[in-house]
Structures are given as C-alpha cells and as structure tokens.
Chain A
C-alpha cells in the first residue's frame, strides 16, 4: 500500500496526475485495502484440519476401549495403566479425505482419571458449563437396518434410529454414540437428508 501511495504522490508532484485524480485513486485504494484488512481479521484464527483426538474419560477405560475396539474394529495402541489410544486406521495411513502429510489419523484416547485433572501443564481443569453430549462416527457402507442388526448382535444397548440415516447406541457407560454414513453432513444432516434429495 505504501509503495502504491508513494508512486501516486510522486506522479501528482510531478504534474502527471491532478489533485482530484490523486484523491480519487487513493480513496478507492484505501477503501479496498480496508475491506481486505477486515476480511483478514475475520479469518485470523487457526485453520483446523481435523479432530486429532477426543479424550474420553470413564470409570473403567479397559472396558470402554474393548467396546469401541469391537464395534469399530479399532486397534488399541500405547496402553498405560490409565489410558489407551484407538487410532482410526493403521500406522502410515492418511485420514479419509486428507492429502496433507502433517494431519495424523484421528484417534480416541480412552482413560480413567479425575475429572479435574490438569489441562496441559496448567492448573486443574475448569468445570465446564458445556458438554459434548454425543459423538457421531462416519462408517463405510452404512445401512441403518443392517447397522442395527450388527449392533444388536454385538450386545450393544439401547440401539435406536437416529432419523432415517443414522443409528444411536449407548456405550457401556451410557454415553451416546451415533453412527452414520458419509452422506450425513453439516449441510444435509441425518434428520433432513430425505428433503435434501440425498438418498444415501
């Protein structure tokens, strides 16, 4: 911007453009620049690429981990005395839909710990006034009726419809889990996909 202004001032001082032209040009440029600046400010956050992990805390992490491993065919890796990770794929694989090399597979960390354990290296965790009341997983080749039959066969509790295109089930600690296909999106959710013309 500074270079642009300097050039036009130089032209004005050398008689190449009129005072009026200088004012018009600089007004237009400044307005456009301000608009870009405001846009940049709106986008000044961090671009998150994917969920890295969700931290799931329960009274018995082994029991929960076994359930998620069974239902979603997940491996359990890096187990300690109080937690274990369940990555959504095998080592070296990229997450679905991601081409970048620095976006790892999403994973669950299933743990048993105090609810007010420290966040990072900070003081004890604050008591949240918000809650993630359920989590929804995307699975391949989803079919609601088949999914319900599979879950029932696995002994899952409280299997029920989640609109026409997903199912809900409770994990061993009563946490609500939703399962659906790729067609359940932020634009065309599980409840409304029929009206979105998406029949997947």
Chain B
C-alpha cells in the first residue's frame, strides 16, 4: 500500500496526474484494501465445526444415568474413564473419527477448566435428540416400552424421560432434520 501511494505521489509531483485523480486513486485504494482486509478477517473468524464432541451431564447419581443410557440407547461406557464419579458413554462413529460421548457426572465431578453447574443459568439445553438409523416405528416403540418408559411424541419423533426427568428425544432422519423444518 505504501509503495502504491508513493508512486501516486511521484506521479502528482511530476505532473503525470492531477490533484483530483490523485485523491480518487487514494480513496479507491483505501476502499479496496479495507474490503479485502475485512473479507479476509471474516473468513478467518469462525471455527469449522465437525460435530458435538461431548455433553457434560450432571445428575445426583452418575451410575444410575450411566446404566440407563447404556441400556436404553446402547451407549458404551469407557471403563478406563469411570472413576466412581463420572463415566464417558460413547456413541456414533469411532472415537477420534467423529464419535461423541455423554459424560455422566455426579455433582462432585467437574471437568478441568469448567465452571460446572451454574445455579440460575439464563440458558439451558432442555433436551437432546438422538438419531436412530434404520427407523422401525413399531420396534422403537416396543423397545422403549419394554424398558418401562412412557412414550410421547409422534411417529418418527418420540420423547421419554431418563431417571432424573431429563427429556430425551429419539428420532428418525425423515422427521427430524434441520432442512425440513
């Protein structure tokens, strides 16, 4: 930019361009430079999201939650991370390849750096919906009822409560899809 303006000044001094042309050229250069800078900054601002890594779920009894999510949603508890206060419950793709996990915690467990449960939080995740592939309405409903759960909702999108009255939604791709709302 500096070099560009220096050349313009030289042109002005030598009479190759007049004052009006000089001013227009500098103003245009500033606008182009600013737009480019802003665009570059914009492109570099946000993160490229891959997915949900994990959700930290705090409840009165992590073991009870662990067993429920393992039983109802076939989540797999990672034994090496179960320390008697928390358990990591894996689901989806393999760990490190897009897989997610639910951290079931008792109140005495807090992640490093986390503030933990904040009383009176203004925002809340009031439910989580999980996708069940190969959806078979009768099979899904029968499975949930066999677990002793009260099922509400509509075909393809069912709601139950976990042992701590946290709402869990289970859905098919056909019914719950961000682009078909």
Residues of A within 8 A of B58 (CB): 130-133
Residue from A85, A86, A163, A187 having most chain B Cβ neighbours under 10 A: A187
Residues of A within 8 A of B162 (CB): 130
Complex Cα spacing A125 to B159, Å: 11
Interface on chain A toward B: helix, strand, loop, or mixed SS? loop
Residues of B within 8 A of A191 (CB): 111-112
Complex Cα spacing A125 to B44, Å: 41
Chain A nearest Cβ from B57, distance in angstroms:
5
Residues of A within 8 A of B154 (CB): 120-121
Residues of B within 8 A of A89 (CB): 49
Complex Cα spacing A89 to B162, Å: 30
A190 touches B92 (CB 8 A): no
Residues of A within 8 A of B181 (CB): 77-78, 85
A-B contact count (CB 8 A): 341
| Interface set, chain A 47-76, CB cutoff 8 A to B | 47-59, 64, 70-74
Complex Cα spacing A58 to B130, Å: 21
Q: Is B147 in contact with chain A by the CB < 8 A criterion?
A: yes
Residues of B within 8 A of A136 (CB): 52-56
With A48-B91, A50-B100, A189-B88 known as contacts, the answer to whether A168 contacts B114 (CB < 8 A) is: yes
Complex Cα spacing A183 to B95, Å: 8
Complex Cα spacing A133 to B72, Å: 22
Q: A151-194: contact bitstring with B at CB < 8 Å (1 yes, 0 no)? A: 00110000011110011100101111011101111111111000
A56 touches B53 (CB 8 A): no
Partner of B176, one of A100, A104, A176: A104
- Report the nearest B residue to A105, measured CB to CB: B178
| Interface set, chain B 105-139, CB cutoff 8 A to A | 111-118, 121-135
Q: How many residues of B contact A (CB 8 A)?
A: 92
- Report the nearest A residue to B45, measured CB to CB: A154
Q: How many residues of A contact B (CB 8 A)?
A: 96
A186 touches B95 (CB 8 A): yes
- Report the nearest A residue to B135, measured CB to CB: A102
Which of A3-11, A17-25, A28-36, A91-99 participates in binding chain B? Answer: A91-99
Additional pairs, 7, CB under 8 Å, beyond known A53-B178, A132-B56, A140-B47: A44-B71, A50-B100, A54-B127, A73-B48, A96-B50, A131-B124, A187-B78
Seen from chain A, the residues whose Cβ lies within 8 Å of a Cβ on chain B are 42-59, 64, 70-74, 77-78, 85-89, 91, 95-98, 100-107, 115, 119-122, 125-142, 147, 150, 153-154, 160-163, 166-168, 171, 173-176, 178-180, 182-191
What are 23 A-B residue pairs whose CB atoms fall within 8 Å in the complex? A43-B74, A45-B71, A48-B75, A49-B131, A50-B131, A51-B100, A52-B171, A53-B129, A54-B125, A58-B123, A59-B123, A96-B51, A120-B159, A130-B60, A132-B124, A138-B50, A138-B51, A160-B113, A162-B113, A173-B123, A174-B122, A179-B47, A182-B50
Seen from chain B, the residues whose Cβ lies within 8 Å of a Cβ on chain A are 44-60, 65, 70-75, 78, 80-81, 88-101, 111-118, 121-135, 140, 143-144, 146-147, 152-154, 157-159, 161-162, 164-167, 169-174, 176-179, 181
